[in-house]
Amino acid sequence: MGCGEDHKTGSCVCDVLRDIARAQRDITEFECDTSCEKSISDLLGETEVRNGLDTVPVLLYCKDGCKPFKGFGAHPRNIGKIKSSFFFRVKSVTKDCCAVLELLRDPNDSDPNPHNPVEQHTKHLRTTGICITVDVKCFCHVTCLPAISAF
């Protein structure tokens, strides 16, 4: 699944995100040596006993300047409190590489707008209900964190 292989969409980032979305959808009914392959494998589990994992957190890098991508949004119940995140849960990826990503945040992180991924708390990443839509073809790199339980 590395970027040296043939890709269905012509974009390795798009293909990896689509595989993550598919794997997450297979193990949960919710809507809205680390590697992506290992995280997907951990998410799916190799045993019949469920491991409780439901999310592969991803960090994306923009093509221009190769900087980490940060998403912004607000929950409808608190529109006045904008939050940002560098970490996302892939909700879906269309055949033309349009993706819906949900911001992941640690509820204990008091900084609503971290300046870089290292400053953002990741110990207890959880879903936020805040989703954004992106063109995956704008990214050149994806980093997968180990699979977690984000619900």
| pLDDT, tens digit (0-9, with 9 covering 90-100), for 99-111 | 999 999 999 999 9
**Sign of the CA dihedral running 7, 1, 87, 53:** positive
Contact 74, 149 (CB under 8 A): no
Instruction: Reply yes or no on whether the pLDDT at 57 is more than 50.
Output: yes
| pTM of structure | 0.77
pLDDT value at position 117?
A: 97
Task: State the pLDDT at residue 35.
Answer: 66
Residue 18 — φ and ψ, nearest 5°? -65, -40
pLDDT classification of 2: cutoffs 50, 70, 90? very low
One-letter amino acid for residue 79 of the chain: I
Residue 10, pLDDT above cutoff 80: no
Residue 34 above 70 pLDDT?
no
What is the enclosing helix (H) or strand (E) of 61? strand 58-62
**Tokens of residue 63, six digits:** 């093509």
Taking the chain, what is the end-to-end CA distance rounded to the nearest angstrom? 27
CA pair distance 73, 8, nearest whole angstrom: 31
